[in-house]
Structures are given as structure tokens and as C-alpha cells.
């Protein structure tokens, strides 16, 4: 049993978490309200069906990307990636109301809290978050619903959704800070957890998330040719 970490709706230990919650929102709020009032209350509802549905949709997206790369090459890859980034951007806009961000919360705290919303709501994962200092936060994913069906390389699909979310935050939430986001380990690659680091980006520094995504894109197209 996974006893560490937090799930959706759990509280974090930081004092500013409660203040930040006033600006955080529920993605797909209308659909969630309908589900809670009409489906989840039924005694015959089996919550594992949501996992099966999510895996079904995730495998569909993954295969759309793979088939596009195989049959259309770079053009097909770009079309699907653009669609994923656009989807992520929209979800990012549903996660926070920038006008309601209270004073007294540092950018690194807010970024960590937004990562919690991404991890526990959008990815339905078990997260162990940490704010390490004024420049750095991190988190471990202790369980991910895709870990039994995605390979390490397949996780590139999630990168583009995250890219869209990051793009929204950069354009609408953080006007003074930018962040480097990168991983040190992943469960599909054989690690016990997925470990991610978020650090404040220095001026002129290349973006590690985007750079690694480009490497994966080139590798995917190269593998399709072999």
C-alpha cells in the first residue's frame, strides 16, 4: 500500500497553502459537478471504471501520435504535438484564476502548489511535494495511473500537455519568474518513483523541458525510419 504522498483534495503542510487555494480551480468543473451529483452517489458505481476509461483514452492518444509519426513523419508529429500543447494550455487556464492570487505567496510556493493540482487532479497521481528553498521545489510521483501501460518513451505524450500548461502559466500567472522543469527518474524506466525538479530559470538559460522534448521528437522519427 502507498502510505506516503497526497491525493486530490488533501491539504499541504505549508502555511500559505490555504491562502493559495482561493485562486486554484477545478478543471472540467461542470462535468465534475454532474458526475458527483448523478453518478458517484450510485451504490453500483465502481470507481475503477474511471481508470479503465482514462487508460483507454491515453492509449488512443499515444497511438494517434505514433501512427502520425509513422505515416506522415515530421508534419504528422507536429500536428499532434500542437494539438496536445493546445489542450494543455486550455487545462492550465482552468486550474487557476490569476486575478485571485493572494499576496504573501512566493512564486516558488505558487509553482509548487500548481504542480500539486496538475499531479493530483490532471494526472490522478499520488504526489509527495517539497519546497526546498526560495529557488527550488520538487516532487515525487509515487503512483501514476499510466505506469503499467506506458513505457518510459511513451511518457513523451504527457510532456506536450505539460508544455501547454507551462505556456499558460508563463503568459498569465508568472510575470517575474520563469522555471526550469526536469525529471531525474521515472517509474516506467524502472525507478521506484518519478522524481521531478523545478528551479527558477536564470536569464538567457535554454529551456530544459523544451530541449529534451525536441530530442525525443527526433529520436521518435529516427526510430520510425529504422
Distance CA 226, CA 221 (A): 9
Please check whether residue 81 is in contact with residue 10, taking contact to mean a CB–CB distance below 8 angstroms: no
The pLDDT score that the predictor gives to residue 57 is 97
The pLDDT score that the predictor gives to residue 224 is 80
- Stretches where the chain sits below pLDDT 50 are none
pLDDT in tens, 71-110: 999 999 999 999 999 999 999 999 999 999 999 999 999 9
The third-level CATH classification (topology) of the domain covering 17-24+48-225 is: Muramoyl-pentapeptide Carboxypeptidase; domain 2 (3.30.1380)
Give SS3 for 16. Answer: coil
Please check whether residue 96 is in contact with residue 23, taking contact to mean a CB–CB distance below 8 angstroms: yes
* Residue 212 DSSP symbol: H
Please check whether residue 95 is in contact with residue 161, taking contact to mean a CB–CB distance below 8 angstroms: no
In angstroms, what CA-CA distances link 21 with 65, 74, 113, 116, 162? 35, 41, 9, 11, 21
State the pTM of this model: 0.94
Distance CA 181, CA 166 (A): 10
Q: Give the start-to-end residue ranges of the domains of the chain.
A: 17-24+48-225
The pLDDT score that the predictor gives to residue 3 is 87
Amino acid at each position: 500500500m502507498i502510505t506516503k504522498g497526497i491525493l486530490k483534495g488533501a491539504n499541504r503542510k505549508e502555511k500559505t497553502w490555504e491562502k493559495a487555494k482561493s485562486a486554484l480551480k477545478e478543471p472540467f468543473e461542470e462535468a465534475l459537478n454532474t458526475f458527483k451529483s448523478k453518478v458517484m452517489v450510485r451504490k453500483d458505481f465502481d470507481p475503477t471504471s474511471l481508470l479503465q476509461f482514462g487508460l483507454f483514452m491515453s492509449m488512443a492518444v499515444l497511438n494517434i501520435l505514433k501512427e502520425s509519426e509513422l505515416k506522415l513523419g515530421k508534419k504528422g508529429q507536429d500536428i499532434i504535438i500542437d494539438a496536445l500543447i493546445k489542450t494543455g494550455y486550455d487545462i492550465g487556464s482552468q486550474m487557476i484564476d490569476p486575478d485571485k492570487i493572494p499576496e504573501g505567496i512566493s512564486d516558488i510556493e505558487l509553482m509548487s502548489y500548481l504542480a500539486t493540482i496538475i499531479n493530483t487532479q490532471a494526472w490522478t497521481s499520488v504526489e509527495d511535494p517539497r519546497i526546498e528553498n526560495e529557488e527550488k521545489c520538487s516532487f515525487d510521483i509515487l503512483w501514476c495511473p499510466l505506469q503499467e501501460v506506458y513505457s518510459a518513451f511513451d511518457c513523451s505524450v504527457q510532456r506536450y500537455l505539460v508544455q501547454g500548461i507551462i505556456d499558460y502559466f508563463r503568459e498569465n500567472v508568472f510575470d517575474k519568474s520563469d522555471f526550469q522543469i526536469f525529471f531525474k527518474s521515472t517509474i516506467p524506466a524502472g525507478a521506484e518513483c518519478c522524481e521531478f525538479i523545478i528551479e527558477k530559470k536564470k536569464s538567457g538559460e535554454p529551456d530544459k523541458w523544451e530541449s529534451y522534448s525536441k530530442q525525443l521528437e527526433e529520436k521518435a522519427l529516427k526510430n520510425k525510419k529504422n
